Amino acid sequence: MTQVIVMNGGSSSGKSGIARCLQAVLPDPWLTLGVDTLIDAMPGDVDDGISFASDGGVGVGAGFRRIEDAWMAGVAAMVRAGARVIVDDAFLGGAESQRRWRDAFDGLEVLWVGVRCDGAVAAGREMARGDRVAGMAESQAEAVHRGVVYDLEVDTGSAEALACAREIASRVT
């Protein structure tokens, strides 16, 4: 039985919209936890934390990684306690980010989903949202997928969030 759905995609690729649709179409209750949840929960003064450059680049330091490791362990503990969880993340470290999640979810049934979106389309969404640093979406569109292995990939540039959610839900056992 699938216990965790991990969705990886760049900023403004449509992961959050798919997650909301998944919660509507999956028969059981699923929690959605995203990297934005973690960032919003962090204090602004973490030494060597996370930084956002004016060109859309994102830098993460050792302080952020320590907190993120604890968060990953906490998400995994929730799953082990019986919660079903959708993780909405952007693997800034590509395959290394996936390895860290794999370690946290060791022994759990995980469905790995790549959420693709053309950089120009994501950049348009980013501009319309107005709550992201310009350039983040385009710079992450391909970089977050480098070396990552998926069970399924969806493309929000060619399919609506609900259609993507239905495709993902069809793979949940």
User: Are the C-beta atoms of residues 85 and 75 closer than 8 Å to each other?
Assistant: yes
Q: State the virtual CA torsion across 99, 103, 43, 15 in degrees, nearest 10.
A: 60
In a 13 Å sphere around the CA of 90, the CA atoms on its Cβ side amount to 26
106 noted as active-site residue: no
Q: Which of 36, 118, 151, 155 is catalytic?
A: 36
- 165: nearest Cα among 108, 91, 119, 113: 113
Positions annotated as catalytic residues are 36
